[in-house]
Structure 1
């Protein structure tokens, strides 16, 4: 039995110590916004915040997380879906299939929390999540719009 602080709520979960946090979030807590992509912490579909840091939950064992640490999933990013990034994603029609987008949003939100006015180089160097649909130009534009920096049109609609 482990206690976790998820989206501001302490919950008890029962899983093996080596169970990835992703599976605890999805299967035990029923929060399916965090996605499974690669299972080796490369694609970023599983990104959550752990004490404000973008963390790939598919490779993080339950034993590495304590009750004192704050986990935020896409469901906890904004109770009303009104985070500036979520608004920018809608305004710019950022997602195509949408599968990777919760991870993209979580990576971008962690970046903006640490660096509210990131340069394009900061964004490209930090948000390294993979999008099979290739919406990188729209993701960049969405982050820039949310940050209020160089809110350009999304350019290529790929």
Structure 2
């Protein structure tokens, strides 16, 4: 995975590899958000101090939420509903839409053509319980000719 990530960083070999480790979202209700990210996105909910984090394999979302006073934070800290995140879906866009429907999560937009980290893809957009915009992007397998 690291070699693939570096291929997108630049056309020449970097001195150091910089790969996103984690990012932060903010939620207004722990129980509701934990259930959503676990059941709809497949996250492992990880207790972290007074709050939680969401793990997706090697990726992680740290979560600011009720009862926490995190520091340091951005100059304008992220608020519940203020994130815009894309997750790679390994099935088809139709499978992603059906999965969302199974969880009573409305598709806001899509399937629609988009460009992501791995090139051209097809995306469906939806929202988490606080209103953050989430995206499932799918990539077609390479031609085997």
Query: What TM-score does the superposition give when structure 1 sets the normalisation length?
Result: 0.28
Bigger Rg over Cα = 2
Structure-2-length-normalised TM-score: 0.29
Higher helix share: 1
Q: Of Structure 1 and Structure 2, which has the larger fraction of its residues in strand?
A: 2
